[in-house]
Structure 1
Amino acid sequence: MSYIVLAINPGSTSTKVALYEEERPLLELSLSHPTEELARFANVIDQLDWRRGLILQALRDHDFDIHRLSAVIGRGGLIRPVPAGVYEVNSRMRYDLRNAQMKHACNLGGLLAAQIAHMAGPGIKAYIADPPVVDEMDDTARITGMPMCQRKPIFHALNQKATARLHCERAGLVYEESNLIVAHMGGGISVAAHRRGRVVDVNNALDGDGPFAPDRAGSIPSSELIKICFSGQYTREELLKYVSSKGGLVAYLGTNSVMEVMKRIKEGDNRARMMLDAMCYNVSKQIGAMAATLSGKVDAIILTGGISYNEPVVEYIREHCGFIAPIAVYPGENELESLVKNALVVLHGVITPKLYK
């Protein structure tokens, strides 16, 4: 018996969906959401029914009957910290996704999966896998100089784990026996130390930690940030947006597109070159920190995410970090395929999904 899986990956301006029969892709779509349409909704969670309708219409347009589905799996959201793995979407998870303190489109993934699975018929289950809140950090990695401010992981866990395993398969390594540094470089940047199958340290790629990114501020000198907070020039909401969506390259150059920055550099824009170099410098420095976390015993450094398509970025990091370990590049993200694979190991009985509680 072959299984058909629908994977759903909601982002801030698009919803990506894919249909697979076993590991054979049947359909992959990216449903774009123009800014003017999104402006109708006060909150991300209010987009749930609208996005579900778009997905169902797209499937109908391609003559697919959802009653043929074996399972639906969505991108995980900002729920409570959990170990890595596949989770069945239950009522507790749905509640936490709807009421998540941090608002992000990824919170819609499990909810969309649950609703469409319910519509597909009895016995069709909804899952998520390796959500951004996967927490396998060493306890010492959490501690900062202020007891009331502990470090916590929010990162690209799904793509980090999937790309690490893919590299190990191709390099003849065993993920659970390897030491890897994985840098996912997209709108946010997460750099993680994978020690024998566990992400023992990683920066919070959403909430102000680690390298600055195309639209995120990364780590900021504490005293300077406190002064700005009490300057009266910015509201709380404005500063939070700097941290999570209006900082980084956007704050300096007015764009979060590295391709646009590269274009400006080719046209002789020295400021653009300096800011891109600074971002690469910060990524390289974070990779070096993760090498120390692994005591210098690193089997490979893996670069992934959309920014990895840019050869000058890769070469900058290679020049600064190549002495640590061999560098492997897996551009883009294969999150839909990764979601499907996670659903299939459940459907085939290889693993039992974990219980969210």
Structure 2
Amino acid sequence: MRYLIINPGATSTKIAVYEDDKEVFRTGIDHDAAEMDKYERIPDQMPFRRDVIMKTLEENGYKLEDFDATCGRGGMLKHIPSGTYKVTDAVIYDIHHPVFGEHAANLGSYLAKELGDKVGIPAFFVDPVSVDELDDVARYSGLKGMERQSFFHALNQKAVARKAAHDIGKPYEELNLIVVHLGGGVSVAAHKKGKVVDVNNVKDDGAMGMDRGGSLPANALVNMCFSGKSKEEVKRIIGHEAGVFSYTGTKDFRTVEQKAFDEGDKECLGAFRAIAYQLAKDIGAMAAVLHYDVDAIAYTGGMAYSERFCDEISSYVSKIAPIMRYPGEEEMAALAAGVDRAMKNGDYKIYE
């Protein structure tokens, strides 16, 4: 079977063609930022991106009629269990009326359905960032009515957890794993027998990321909120101008590492060590969630390419469990595997 895989980013759209579980074509389509700024809302970009995808496919010898199904990245949808979902009208409604805000990833399932409907083939999405398998106790914060929520790199986390399980030689559903996604955003999750029962994610808590604050001192944050800044300004600062960027002035991890160790930049060295330290604390917390019965700790994401950075984290946590490293991301392959299971085994759910 042949599948069209779609993974939208803020100013790009990655597409791939898979034949069963084998990738036979992939390309990234860059979009001019000024072009994207013309659209008031992210869902408004759909027709533009749809047409660009169709043109790109045609230029590379593919027609929509060549495919058996489409699969797009899931976005900020309602909280749902992990799995592959068929794109329904309810999905499209929630993309236009988002519960948790707009994100370019929301366009993945929208584009998949638009393209699939043109030739009468099904559309799916897999493990959106809103996957929720938390234990009830993990939802408690420190204030009733302000419950912790599950937002994390579910697609890559699940794919890497299954890859680690394969390499260990046991089913994912029989293992306890800690997966650490090391990208521009970071997330540290406890995978207990096939479910993510707790997670620290940079959107709300845990270690800082390259430009996000993670956990911040509550009283200092309250003071910022009442310092004359607007709600939008505060959100921009903690979501786009915080983290390593606030200490170093760059959002490029490679630049931070180079300046820290090749040029002796003290700010970069401090931030490098601090983010590793904070991630180690999150890993320790997830080990406690799993009662320290941990089969492996798996690093993934772009920063996992840095052996020095991974070693820095491991210097704190290596006694907990064996360390496994999977640099980069498995998102396209994970989407393809999900739609393949749906089409061949009927292994999919309906989004309500």
Classify the TM-score, shorter chain.
Answer: over 0.9
Separation of aligned partners in 1, 2:234 and 2:146: 18
Following superposition, the deviation at residue 33 of structure 1 comes to: 2.4
For the 8 Å contact 1:80–1:133, the answer to whether it is kept is: yes
For the 8 Å contact 2:188–2:201, the answer to whether it is kept is: no
- Residue among 207, 231, 239 paired with 1:236: 231
Q: Residue in 2 aligned with 1:65?
A: 63
Q: Residue in 1 aligned with 2:48?
A: 50
Are residue 156 (structure 1) and residue 156 (structure 2) matched? no
Mapping of 1:130-149 within 5 angstroms?
130-149=127-146
Instruction: Give the residue type in structure 1 aligned to 2:288.
Output: A
Q: Residue in 1 aligned with 2:330?
A: 334
Q: Residue in 2 aligned with 1:306?
A: 302
Instruction: Give the residue type in structure 2 aligned to 1:247.
Output: A
Q: Which runs of 4+ in 1 moved over 4 A?
A: none
Q: Residue in 2 aligned with 1:99?
A: 97
Q: Residue in 1 aligned with 2:270?
A: 274
CA deviation profile, 1:124-182 (whole Å, cap 9, x unmatched) = 00000111111100011110111121100100111111110111111112210100000
Mapping of 1:181-192 within 5 angstroms?
181-192=178-189
For the 8 Å contact 1:182–1:191, the answer to whether it is kept is: yes
Separation of aligned partners in 2, 1:191 and 1:351: 31
Are residue 343 (structure 1) and residue 323 (structure 2) matched? no
CA deviation profile, 1:278-320 (whole Å, cap 9, x unmatched) = 1111111100000000000000000001110111110101111
Q: Residue in 2 aligned with 1:6?
A: 4
Instruction: Give the residue type in structure 1 aligned to 2:292.
Output: G
Q: Residue in 1 aligned with 2:292?
A: 296
Separation of aligned partners in 1, 2:129 and 2:230: 27
For the 8 Å contact 1:5–1:71, the answer to whether it is kept is: yes
Q: Residue in 1 aligned with 2:258?
A: 263
Separation of aligned partners in 1, 2:253 and 2:179: 20
Following superposition, the deviation at residue 242 of structure 1 comes to: 2.3
For the 8 Å contact 2:206–2:215, the answer to whether it is kept is: yes
Instruction: Give the residue type in structure 1 aligned to 2:271.
Output: M
Q: Find the residue that maps to 1:49 and give its secondary structure.
A: helix
Range with greater deviation from structure 2 (81-90 or 101-110): 101-110
- Residue among 163, 168, 172 paired with 1:175: 172
Distance 1:158 1:241, change over 3 A: same
Separation of aligned partners in 2, 1:139 and 1:293: 12
Are residue 214 (structure 1) and residue 210 (structure 2) matched? yes
CA deviation profile, 1:166-205 (whole Å, cap 9, x unmatched) = 1111111221010000001111101000000010000233
Structure 2 stretches lacking a partner, 5+ long: none
For the 8 Å contact 1:201–1:293, the answer to whether it is kept is: yes
Q: Residue in 1 aligned with 2:18?
A: 20
Q: Find the residue that maps to 2:156 and give its secondary structure.
A: helix
Distance 1:33 1:260, change over 3 A: farther
Q: Residue in 2 aligned with 1:254?
A: 249
- Residue among 273, 280, 287 paired with 1:284: 280
For the 8 Å contact 2:129–2:151, the answer to whether it is kept is: yes
Q: Find the residue that maps to 1:84 and give its secondary structure.
A: coil
Following superposition, the deviation at residue 46 of structure 1 comes to: 2.1
For the 8 Å contact 2:84–2:127, the answer to whether it is kept is: yes
Percent of aligned pairs with the same amino acid: 40
Following superposition, the deviation at residue 226 of structure 1 comes to: 0.4
Distance 1:249 1:43, change over 3 A: farther
Following superposition, the deviation at residue 253 of structure 1 comes to: 2.0
Instruction: Give the residue type in structure 1 aligned to 2:54.
Output: L
Q: Find the residue that maps to 1:302 and give its secondary structure.
A: strand
TM (norm. structure 2) is: 0.97
For the 8 Å contact 1:156–1:190, the answer to whether it is kept is: yes
Q: Find the residue that maps to 1:303 and give its secondary structure.
A: strand
Separation of aligned partners in 2, 1:247 and 1:172: 40
Separation of aligned partners in 2, 1:269 and 1:221: 26
For the 8 Å contact 2:202–2:213, the answer to whether it is kept is: no
Separation of aligned partners in 2, 1:110 and 1:242: 30
RMSD of aligned residue pairs (Cα, Å): 1.2
For the 8 Å contact 1:88–1:356, the answer to whether it is kept is: yes
Q: Residue in 1 aligned with 2:27?
A: 29
